[in-house]
Amino acid sequence: MSIVKSSLLASTMLCAVFVASSVAAQTANTTQNPPSTPTPPSKPASNEVVVTGSRLHHTTFNTPAPVQVITNHDARLEGLIDSISVLQGSTAAAGYTQINNQFGGYVVNGGPGISSLSLRGLGGQRTLVLLNGRRLNPAGVSGTVADVDLNVIPDALVERYEVLKDGASSIYGSDAIGGVVNIITRNKFDGLNIETNDSIPQEGAGKQFEVAVSGGRVRDNYHVLFGLQYFQENAIRIRDLPGGACPLELQRLPTGGPYNFGRSYADGSPYCANTQTNNVSDFSTGGVWVYDPSQGAQFPYSPFSQSHFGTVPRLTNIATDPRTADVDAASPSRRAAFTLIGAADLPHNVEFYFEDLLTNRRSQQAAFLPQLFPATDNDIVAVSQNPFNPFTSAENGPDFVQPILTMPVTQQTQDVWAGRALFGLRGDFGSFLKGWKWDTSLTYGLSRAHYTTDTVLAHRFENALNVVVAPSGTDPALVRFNPVDGLSYTCAVNVSNPAEKCYPLNFFESSAQLTRDPALAYMRTVDKGHTSYDQVVFDATADGPIFNLPAGPVQGVIGIEYRYDSLDDYPGKYAVAHDYFNLSSAGVTRGDNGVVELYLEGEAPLLKGKPLVDSLTLNVSTRYTNYRSGGSDLTYKLNLNWQIIPSLRARATYGTSFRGPALYENYLAAQTSFTGALDPCAQYGVNAAPTSNLYKNCASEGLPGNFLGYSSTPEVFTQGAQGRLKSETSKNLTVGPVWQPSFADLQVSVSYFHIEVDNEITTLGPDNILNLCYDSSQFRNGSPYCTLISPRDSNNNIALIDDSYLNVAQQLVSGIDADLVYRKKFDIGEFTLDLKTTYAIEDKQELFPGSPVTNYTGTFGEPRWNGNLQLLFRHKDWTFDWSMRYLGEQNEYPITGETPGGRYLEFQKDQLYHSLGVEYQGDKWRATFVIRNLFNDYPPVISNNPDAAFASRVGEFANGYGNLNLYGRSFYFSLSKDF
């Protein structure tokens, strides 16, 4: 960052520290502002609201659990339109990988287009999302639907977001391991409101637009509120990013210097680190050839030529495909939502209430640039024996070759309808149980989705390769001339079945020619799948005073919850037939489960008005959970709230949590794919010490030290593990002080958190399985990793890797949250400083007992520090906002084993993004203008490193973490009008 911006940051942070440390000298009014009630959409919501950190009510800073409250009004002042940006940008989430529209080409839970929330980096399936205090149902596509899709949230109706930053299974039920998010909407509004929000990037890509209409009626005995909303987000292609059209390798020379070195071509043009194409590996000779049409149609290839690293310039003739830049860095989507909320009084002091939500998401992805190449031995033989193979001689016959081409960018679409209908009754027990209230509700949630992907079909690929000399009378449109032998060929299948309309494939043409080739049109198709997810929840609670202690009344809650979930995914007829060529395919996933939960919560004031004990309150909760498939467990949570003196409070929570396997973890039908993982034994004689386990294990299989690695890509097999999985359990500790001095409107809280998840359910990934097996001292004689890998065949290839779901040993996450809110009234207005930050101490993962423990804290996607600072000044009808979002440095060297300061830049410096906003509040209208990313900053660049298990790139940025700021400077406009 520039010196100017560094100074700006330093002065701003210094201002925050000065405010916190100097308030003792102030003589401000000692009266705290009481919490205010919810207000219409055109009015700012209060920063002090009643939150639900338990089934009992507390405020943000006096709850025993750490709760972060984000008002929708303050989020709009920062230029954040949707719930995805707000929640994934909260400090409990921003320091970890988040799934959103930056994952278009990845396989993620819920399928492409989903946006989920992972608190503390524990995953969306361990983060519970509530809407108005009740569980929100999952939505998405594919056989892995389990997470809540944040796209279904009616953003325009949201009043505030409450983020409970510790485990709460005993309070809210299973899945609440990493934390709980409670999204609170407005429920009372009399009138009509129209609001538009527009975010326009300076560079033009990634525009966001939203229009919402809401209205309601409030009367003495009923109230009703409706909302209609439309949101659209345009794509950001890789070419829209700085350096995206031609990403450079950005390496460092052995002699030192900046990270700006890369390959180039003979004409002086730079080598663009896109997907490689138009080359052939000749396994018979060990050579590599590059497509070169100047050599003639019979043999259009030149030998691969490349200078050694360190040569300046480093020349190469290997080709890459510029269409890589047409892949989405952030994929587009459109969504619409209808919401209906209301309540009506019934006789006997009973209230009937309802919440109905219906949303539609239509998303699409230019997902990735696929390569077309024979991956298995059988395919390599078929391609090599094809008469179009120019690598052949009369004496020796055809060489065994592996050509690599690229096809047009793969397109995917999703059309997801998600809904929730909730009906409930609530009231009190009257004189029967004085002071006690009851609440019961029934919720039905559903997701109905259709999705498509384009793919090459394996049987058509085989047909296009299996050719014969075209018989007389063959349809000329199905005949291809072969420049190698001068004959004309057609697909063998056409002879017996002319209706197949197969066109022969010439694997030895260029990718540009393949794009227009009738063979590709024949092989490629669009497969259509559909997914259904249903959830039914019945919940009943009663709460009230139990008895009185000297320090005050003891409150209690008792409740029961029943939940039923079912999943049915049909991924498409070609996927079910495992007819995809070199692409993941899947079977039909179908399963259901039910769970019954009984819970109790009580809160007792133990002491009050004693020396150093202004008050001492204990909150205890427990829940019994019984899955029909997944076992049962009893969880509990202890909350201690110790008001030492009026200005100083200590709070601590300790609890256990429980999560049964998700439906897909139990029932996912077999998925098959091919991995790009490198053979760990490749060149082991050079890369490994003779005393290492890797060296010994590779040698024990009879592999030479100069072994080049498997020639056939292993197939990866993934499926659910019903009957073999244990339920996850966890322990969660949170402890820290809260300071609220009387001499200033200041609130400071610091919380240490420690979460330990045991029997975590996950997949290991083929890279991990291979490396952990070959690095094991037990190897084939007892290593649990090696049981997941098939023995090498006669060609030294590995046929299958089993990457199914299993229980791993544990994941341990710990860190420190610090929040500071300061308000000061002046004659000309009111100033607010709101600072929230998280320091991550560790994110350790152990796959099996005794296996190596890896700490991912500080690596790519998991900065140690992240924080948000918002400075507000309100003057009459005007509000001015200056907000900052900070991500600390990230270092991948501990993961890749590369040398810091060496050839590859695997380090991201810290990032600071500013926004500047102003709002005017009229009588019945509001206008907001924000400049987001004021200084037009982008993430730090990293090197292209194709030779290691290193982070992939989107353009020149690290990819695959979901927390990249890809928008550059943007201009946000909002206009809201009440009628």
Most confident segment among 25-34, 242-251, 628-637, 946-955 = 242-251
H or E stretch including 768? helix 766-774
First CA to last CA distance, the chain: 46
Quickly state the pLDDT bin for 5 (edges 50, 70, 90).
Answer: very low
Q: How far is CA 305 from CA 183, 235, 316, 543, in A?
A: 59, 37, 6, 77
Q: What is the pTM of this model?
A: 0.90
The CB density around residue 915, as the number of other CB atoms within 10 Å, is 22
Q: Is residue 848 very low, low, confident or very high in pLDDT (cuts 50, 70, 90)?
A: confident
Distant-in-sequence, close-in-space partners of 579: CB < 8 Å, separation ≥ 6: 457, 458, 459, 585
Alpha helices in 473-537 (DSSP H): 492-496, 511-515, 518-523
Which tokens go with 377?
């031995």
33 near 45, Cβ under 8 Å?
no
Sign of torsion, CA 93 96 97 102?
positive
Cis peptide before 370 (omega within 30 of 0): no
The chain-wide mean pLDDT, for the chain, equals 90
Least confident of 27-31, 448-452, 797-801, 879-883: 27-31
Do residues 764 and 806 touch, judged by C-beta distance below 8 A? yes
Cα–Cα distance measured from residue 329 to residue 327, given in angstroms and rounded to the nearest whole number: 6
Report the C-alpha gap between 487 and 506 in whole angstroms. Answer: 13
Residue 22 has pLDDT above 60, yes or no: no
CA distance 250 to 258: 8
Segment 189-240, tens digit of pLDDT = 899 999 999 999 998 799 999 999 999 999 999 999 999 999 999 999 999 9
Rounded average pLDDT over 590-611: 95
181 band by pLDDT with thresholds 50, 70 and 90: very high
Give 238-254 pLDDT, tens digit per residue: 999 999 999 999 999 99
- The three-class DSSP label of residue 863 is coil
Phi/psi of residue 685, each to 5°?
A: -65, -20
Q: How confident is the model at residue 57 (pLDDT cuts 50, 70, 90)?
A: low
| CA-closest candidate to residue 511, choices 325, 674, 263, 322 | 322
C-alpha 580: how far from chain center: 26
Which residue is it, tokens 């090599």? 384
pLDDT exceeds 70 at position 872: yes
Q: Using CA atoms, how far apart are residues 917 and 914, in angstroms rounded to an integer?
A: 10
CA 769, CA 784: separation in Å to the nearest integer?
9
**Nearest 10 degrees: Cα torsion 128, 47, 736, 841:** 60
Strand locations in 700-851, DSSP E?
715-718, 728-739, 745-758, 761-762, 800-802, 806-807, 810-826, 829-846
pLDDT tens-digit readout, 513-535:
999 999 999 999 999 999 999 99
Joined tokens for residue 915: 């926004």
pLDDT in tens, 252-295: 999 999 999 999 999 999 999 999 999 999 999 989 999 999 99
574's torsion region: left (phi>0), alpha (psi -120 to 50) or beta?
A: alpha
**pLDDT top residue among 60 and 769:** 769
